[in-house]
C-alpha cells in the first residue's frame, strides 16, 4: 500500500493544476501512480515530468538501448511498477520479448550484443555506483560523448525513480500489466 496519497488534479492547489492538464495534453493519458505520488510536492512533480519527458523524447540515444538500461535498473531494484511499465515501452521501441525474458542473463545470453555493455553500465551504476574502466571503454566503442551522457542521465534518473517507487510503496494502476 502506498505510504502517501495518490493526488488527483483537484487535490492540487489551483495554481498547480496546469501540471496535470499539460501531462494529459502531452501524453494523452492521465498521470500514473508514480506521478500522483510525486504530486505531493507539486514543485518537484513539475521538474520531474520535465526531465522525464526530455530523457524519453529529447535525446539521441537509441530508445532500445535506453529501455534495456532502464529495465536493468528496475530489475535490480525489484521495482515492479517500473519493470511493468517499461516492459511495454521496451516492446514498443523494438526490444524483443525474449530479451526481456532473459535480462538477468545478459552477460552470458547470446540474445545480447552491444546492448550488453549498456546493461552492464546500468548494473554497475545501480549496484556499485562506480563503473569499471572496461565497461566505460566498451561504451566508447559505439556511443559518442553525448549519448554516453544521455545514458548516464537516464540510468541516474531511473535510479532516483525506483528509490521513490519502492520506499513509497507505489502500486501498479488497476489493469496495468506486461504486454
Taking residues 12-29, what's their average pLDDT? 96
Question: Domain 63-168 adopts which CATH fold?
Answer: AhpD-like (1.20.1290)
Residue 41, pLDDT score = 98
Residue 90, pLDDT score = 97
Mean pLDDT of all residues in the chain? 96
Would you say residue 15 has pLDDT above 90? yes
pLDDT tens by residue, 136-178: 999 999 999 999 999 999 999 999 999 999 999 999 999 999 9
Taking residues 29-52, what's their average pLDDT? 97
Distance CA 82, CA 178 (A): 11
Any idea where the domains of the chain sit in the sequence? 9-57, 63-168
Q: Interior CA angle at 35 toward 160 and 154, to 5°?
A: 35
Whether residue 178 contacts residue 149, with contact meaning beta carbons closer than 8 Å, is answered with no
Residue 50, pLDDT score = 96
Would you say residue 105 has pLDDT above 90? yes
Give the pLDDT band (50/70/90) at residue 114. confident
- Angstrom distances, CA of residue 133 to CA of 140, 150, 162: 11, 18, 26
Burial annotation 154-168 (CB, 10 A radius, 16+ → b, else e): bbebbbebbebbeeb
pLDDT tens by residue, 22-37: 999 999 999 999 999 9
Amino acid at each position: 500500500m502506498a505510504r502517501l496519497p495518490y493526488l488527483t488534479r483537484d487535490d492540487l492547489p489551483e495554481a498547480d493544476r496546469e501540471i496535470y492538464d499539460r501531462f494529459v495534453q502531452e501524453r494523452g493519458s492521465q498521470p500514473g501512480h508514480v506521478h500522483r505520488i510525486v504530486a505531493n510536492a507539486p514543485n518537484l512533480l513539475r521538474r520531474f515530468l520535465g526531465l522525464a519527458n526530455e530523457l524519453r523524447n529529447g535525446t539521441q540515444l537509441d530508445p532500445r538501448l535506453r529501455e534495456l538500461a532502464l529495465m536493468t535498473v528496475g530489475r535490480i531494484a525489484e521495482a515492479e511498477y517500473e519493470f511493468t511499465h517499461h516492459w511495454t515501452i521496451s516492446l514498443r521501441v523494438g526490444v524483443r520479448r525474449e530479451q526481456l525474458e532473459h535480462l538477468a542473463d545478459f552477460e552470458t545470453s547470446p540474445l545480447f550484443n552491444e546492448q550488453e555493455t549498456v546493461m552492464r553500465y546500468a548494473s554497475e551504476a545501480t549496484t556499485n555506483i562506480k563503473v569499471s574502466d572496461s565497461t566505460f571503454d566498451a561504451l566508447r566503442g559505439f556511443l559518442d560523448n553525448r549519448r554516453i551522457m544521455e545514458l548516464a542521465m537516464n540510468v541516474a534518473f531511473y535510479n532516483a525513480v525506483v528509490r521513490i517507487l519502492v520506499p513509497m510503496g507505489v502500486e501498479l494502476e488497476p489493469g496495468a500489466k506486461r504486454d
